[in-house]
Structure 1
Amino acid sequence: MTGESTLKEVIARLGKAIEALEHAASARLEHEQDYLDADAEVQRMNADRARLAQELDNSEARAERLEETNKEVSRRLVTAMETIRAVLDR
């Protein structure tokens, strides 16, 4: 009987080992999927960052153009006011 009980014990241990291996493989696959999900999220965030950086650059360039236009309009208004004062003073 000892041979038979030893065989049963070995089979039970083998079953537990296979079960533990299945759990480890399952956990590994789940971890890998989490990693892939995180990697995809990082790629989306990098794409968003690049898009936002481009939009910011475009907005800054537009703001600079508007500032230059504003300065030119202000300069022209001052010239026009000075011309009108000169005409009125005559």
Structure 2
Amino acid sequence: MTSPLDDAMKRLDAALGLLEASVSRRLDAEKRKGSLETELQLMQDDRSRLAEELDGALTQIKRYEVATDDVGQRVQLAILAVQNVLSQAGQLELEEG
């Protein structure tokens, strides 16, 4: 037969074991939470950096589009000028011949 003191000590020991396990789980959860918060902050920083890079790339693309349109217009004008010169040269040949 065990004494009431021994029973109380066993219950106290079991309760302390449960408390230690609970504290350990809580500390692990806090560590994970801290890691997740750090990871989230890194992801937000990456997102901001990528958004800035995307904005810069879009601005550059718009500049290239404007330049391309300008070059296209100049090429069209050059083609018309060459066609005009060739047309006039052809008319001169007809008039001389």
| Structure 1 ranges of 4+ moved more than 4 A | none
Deviation at residue 85 of structure 1 after TM alignment: 1.4
Deviation at residue 87 of structure 1 after TM alignment: 1.6
Structure 1, unaligned stretches of length 5 or more? none
Q: Which residue of 2 aligns with 1:81?
A: 79
Higher-Rg structure is 2
Kindly report the root-mean-square deviation, in angstroms, between the aligned alpha carbons of the 2 structures: 1.3
Structure 1 residues 6-25: aligned runs within 5 Å = 6-25=4-23
Deviation at residue 86 of structure 1 after TM alignment: 1.5
What is the one-letter code of the residue matched to 2:36? A
Structure 2, unaligned stretches of length 5 or more? 89-97
Deviations 1:46-89 (A, max 9, x none): 01111111111011101100000000000000111111111222
The count of corresponding residues between Structure 1 and Structure 2 is 88
Match of 1:66 among 64, 67, 73: 64
Structure 1 Cα separation of the partners of residues 72 and 29 of structure 2 = 63
What is the one-letter code of the residue matched to 1:38? L
